[in-house]
């Protein structure tokens, strides 16, 4: 029988939803990592670990690796007690990560600005990228090995899975 439709997804959640919605689907599961990829260790911690996490990130930056910090908001919002990407960037560049090369990337930037930041991150000029979910898909920086997701409870499971997929793309062990 020739298929009428081909549905592909890298994550199990959309696969499950497609099965529920469309019913009679044959599912093929690829249960191995792409060549060269490793398992990403993932931890959930509260803000009492902040200084420890910063030291952990710095260890990798000092070894020549790169890292992401992902925030749910671009700018601060009085409705939510959440640090925005812009606030986080300003705080870290003059505080805990002074002396390191930081970049800021979010969806309100124009395409040329975003491209410039990503080019500088890809080349290694930027060590630590503070970003929103604009990095969720299509970013491949094998040297990025650590990701800190602030206010992870603000994201859906699929989003967290996609974000985590930005690390673990190179030869080095990665942690989220």
**Residue 13: pLDDT above 80?**
no
Higher pLDDT, 142 or 10: 142
> Sign of torsion, CA 20 24 25 31?
positive
CA distance 148 to 43: 10
More confident call, 37 vs 149 = 149
Rounded mean pLDDT, 26-42: 73
Q: Strands (DSSP E) along the chain, which ranges?
A: 40-41, 66-70, 102-105, 128-131, 144-149, 174-175
User: Average pLDDT over the chain, rounded to whole?
Assistant: 87
pLDDT of residue 1: 64
Residue given tokens 């979010």 in the structure block: 106
| Confidence at residue 88, expressed as pLDDT on a 0 to 100 scale | 94
Q: Of 172, 110, 93, 160, whose CA–CA distance to 133 is shortest?
A: 160
**Cβ-contact 175, 20 below 8 angstroms:** no
The pTM score is 0.81
Judge whether residue 84 has pLDDT over 80.
yes
Q: What is the pLDDT of residue 79?
A: 81
pLDDT digit string (tens) for 126-146?
A: 999 999 999 887 788 999 999
């Amino acid at each position: 029988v020739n298929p009428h439709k081909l549905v592909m997804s890298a994550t199990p959640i959309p696969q499950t939803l497609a099965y529920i919605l469309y019913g009679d689907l044959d599912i093929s599961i690829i249960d191995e990592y792409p060549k060269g990829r490793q398992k990403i260790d993932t931890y959930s911690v509260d803000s009492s670990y902040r200084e420890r996490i910063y030291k952990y990130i710095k260890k990798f930056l000092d070894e020549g690796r790169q890292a992401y910090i992902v925030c749910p908001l671009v700018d601060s919002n009085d409705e939510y007690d959440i640090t925005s990407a812009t606030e986080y960037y300003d705080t870290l560049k003059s505080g805990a990560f002074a002396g390191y090369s930081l970049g800021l990337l979010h969806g309100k930037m124009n395409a040329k600005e975003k491209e410039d930041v990503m080019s500088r991150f890809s080349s290694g000029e930027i060590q630590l990228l503070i970003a929103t979910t604009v990095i969720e898909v299509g970013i491949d920086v094998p040297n990025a090995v650590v990701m800190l997701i602030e206010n992870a409870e603000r994201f859906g499971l699929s989003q967290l899975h996609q974000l985590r997929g930005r690390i673990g793309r190179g030869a080095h062990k990665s942690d989220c």
